[in-house]
Each structure stands twice: as C-alpha cells, then as structure tokens.
Amino acid sequence: MTIEVTTLPDTEVACVRCEACCCRLEVMLITDTGVPDSFIETDKWGGRSMARLDDGWCSALDRNTMICMIYEKRPKICRDFDMRGYECISVRAEYRTD
C-alpha cells in the first residue's frame, strides 16, 4: 500500500517576507509590456525575455531590498503570479533545496 503525501501551501508566504524565488524563473515577453529595454534580453531568434543576472536572478530585482525595481511596469506574467499558489510554493521549495 502506497501513501501519497500532499504538501500544504506555506501560509507564511507574504510580500513582506517574500524571498523573491519567482524572480529566478524565466519570464518570456510575448507582448509589449512597458518594461524598460535595459531589463530585456533578445535571443538570436528575436524572442524577448526579462534579462537575468549571471546567478539566474531577474535583473529588475533590487538585491538589497528584494523588491522589483520596475514593479509598476512589470510583465503581465509577474502580475498574474499567484502568491501562495502552487507555482509559488513549488519554486520556493526548489529554491530551498539548491
């Protein structure tokens, strides 16, 4: 008999305690987002994404405050990311095991 263990969402996740783990995800830019060009990378095929630093973090994340420097102009995918949702909890768990 196999028992499946389900992880409950981390109820301690909140903006004021955010570890900005989602800022390590690749963010493709499909439409014009208003993101300043200095935070955008374009690949050899013309695909656009949020620029990332050498260590994988989004270049728009202020590493001292862990706050997005372009919060008002952040891409739609970032706006739609559900804090405490499945993806958030999954990314946080993966980050903690790195």
pTM score > 0.75 for this model?
no
Q: What is the pLDDT of residue 32?
A: 77
Contact 88/95 with Cβ under 8 angstroms?
Answer: no
In the structure encoding, which two tokens stand for residue 24, read together?
Answer: 């390590």
Q: Phi and psi for 82 in degrees, rounded to 5? A: -85, 105
Q: Which one is predicted more confidently, 46 or 95?
A: 46
Residue 10 has pLDDT above 60, yes or no: no
Tell me the per-residue pLDDT of 19-66, one tens digit each, with 9 for 90 and over: 666 777 788 898 777 899 999 999 999 999 999 999 888 999 888 887
Residue 84 has pLDDT above 80, yes or no: no
